[in-house]
Each structure stands twice: as structure tokens, then as C-alpha cells.
Structure 1
Amino acid sequence: MWLFSRKGPSGFSSSSTAEEVTRGIDGTGLTAIITGASSGIGTETTRVLALRGVHVIMAVRNMAAGKDVKEAIVKEIPTAKVDTLELDLGSLSSVRKFASDFKSSKRPLNTLMLKEYF
């Protein structure tokens, strides 16, 4: 077990948290799209990026779940800039609508994080 908690050249290990890794980073002015942001690692990624000042677009299939996550993040981080847009990666028409909606926001896209679905 000691092998997995030993810090590597970066100063981090497998037990390092996203907050530890991003400490000191200012993401103000950046925009990120996170798929699967309404649960699991997508939610945590959204939370930590919002904590660092990134404007996060939550791409979610379930808008009700996305709204709940957004509310929880904004409650914890009142300055968070988080929006939810509907996206079902299994539907080409949904992907086209999402792309059109995002494009009409005139925001830059600095980071795209796609949560894998199995």
C-alpha cells in the first residue's frame, strides 16, 4: 500500500485530492464543459473547477439532477459560475442542440472533459 500513497515527482500521489492539486490556480476567465456533471467524478470536477473560478457548463442528460448539483455547488461556493445545458451523447440531435446553445453563449471553450460511460 505504501507505493500508492508515495508522492511522485509532481509532489502528488494517488491519494491527492482535486482541491490539493489545483490549490493556487486561478481559473478566472476560463470556461469548461463537463459531461456527466450531475453525478460522481463529474460533480466533483465541476465543484473544484468552480472553486477555482472557472465558468463551468454542466452537460447533463437529467436536467433535474443537474439543477440539484448546481444548487449545492452554488450554496457551497456563492461566487461559482455554473450553468446547466441538456446533452444526451447518445442522440445526435441533442449533441447538435447543445453545440448550438453553447455557441450562442459566445463563451470561449478552454477545457472539455468527457466522462466515460460504460
Structure 2
Amino acid sequence: MKKTMWFFRRKGPPGFSSSSTAEKVTERIDATGLTAIVTRASSGIGTETARVLALRGAHVVMAVRNMAAGKDAREQIVKAIPSAKVDAMELDLSSLSSVRKFASDFNSAGLPLNILM
């Protein structure tokens, strides 16, 4: 018999559990007017984070190391959410010169920074 840790399935005080989705957790949030930078946004949890923030109305800047993968992820989000405001910008966090260029390019865009993930 497989042991299950009951406390992982139990809902916490706000009613969410380990099986709660990002859409469920954010369903009453309006992020219109906010700008979010999401690092590693070209795949996995980064893409999902960018998608849900865009779904909630945030202007999302996808910070990606691989621009081709970033553009593909951006296209998928915009295809699913036509009103999404999503940009892909190159950022390699292992390179200080890339970080400086990203910061300079982001500042030049004149956008506020409300959320950094």
C-alpha cells in the first residue's frame, strides 16, 4: 500500500492546495496596468507564469536566453490570448554584460516595473 502524506492534499486557509492552478489562484486578480518581467520564460513554469500574468492583463516582458524559443513561447501566448501584451527580450543571467544590456533596453522602453519573477 502506497503511503500518502495527507497534509499535501489538504487545502490551506485560503482554500488552495498543491493541486491549485495558477489560473485558479489568480482568478480574481486584475493586473491591468502592471508590467511584469518573467525570467526563463521560454519554457516550463516561466512560460506558464507569463501566460497567466498576460491573461490577467499585465504587460509581460519575457526575459529569455534563447530568443527563438522566446518568440515561439510569445506567439503561443498571443495565439491563446489575442489581447495579451507580451514582449520577448534577450537576457542571459550568467552574463553580466547581457544583464546590463537587458536593463538598459528595458529602461529605454519607458515601462514601469511592478513585478519581477
TM range (shorter): over 0.9
Q: Which residue is 1:70 aligned to? A: 74
Task: Choose from 106, 109, 112 the match for 1:105.
Answer: 109
Q: TM-score, normalised by structure 1?
A: 0.93
Instruction: Answer whether contact 1:4 1:15 (CA < 8 A) is retained.
Output: no
Distance in 1 between residues matched to 2:81 and 2:91, nearest whole Å:
24
Deviant stretches of 4+, over 3 Å: none
Root-mean-square deviation (Å): 0.7
Structure 1 residues not aligned, in runs of 5+: 114-118
Task: Choose from 13, 19, 23 the match for 1:15.
Answer: 19
Please report how far the alpha carbon of residue 65 of structure 1 lies from its aligned counterpart in structure 2 after TM superposition.
0.2
Q: TM-score, normalised by structure 2?
A: 0.94
Distance in 1 between residues matched to 2:84 and 2:9, nearest whole Å:
31
Structure 2 residues not aligned, in runs of 5+: none
